Amino acid sequence: MLAVSCPAGESSCAGTVTLRTLGAVSARKKKGRATVLTLASGSFTVAGGATQPVTLRLSGQARALLGRLHVLRVIATIVAHDSTGATHTTQATVTLHAPKLKHGKG
């Protein structure tokens, strides 16, 4: 989940969020060609002055990669459009952690 906010001076903001690997990685267990992978993307609409969580679903390839590496650094790119049509792009580095496995009782 990623929190997206819209400035108070705007009536609303809409856009997309994309998660990509920070560098080139091989998505397969065996040696393969390393590329920058798109792990998830989603869209949002936020009212002016508000903050809204955006839930992104990782692709199967992304879940497998995260399960294998346990920690994955990614770039979150947010491309937002305000009510006047102006485009604003923001990037942030995010660290994804694989969920801890819960062991069953006895």
pLDDT tens digits, 17-57: 999 999 998 877 777 788 999 999 999 999 999 999 999 99
pTM passes above 0.75 = yes
Q: State the average pLDDT for the chain.
A: 90
**With 90 as the cut, is the pLDDT of residue 85 above it?**
no
pLDDT band of 105, cuts 50, 70, 90: low
Cα 59 from Cα 56, distance rounded (Å):
9
How high is the pLDDT of residue 4? 92
Contacts of 12 (CB under 8 A, 6+ apart): 6, 45, 46, 47, 48, 82, 83
Mean pLDDT over residues 56-69, rounded? 93
**With 80 as the cut, is the pLDDT of residue 92 above it?**
yes
How high is the pLDDT of residue 17? 97
Cβ count within 10 A of residue 44 = 19
Cα 96 from Cα 43, distance rounded (Å):
20
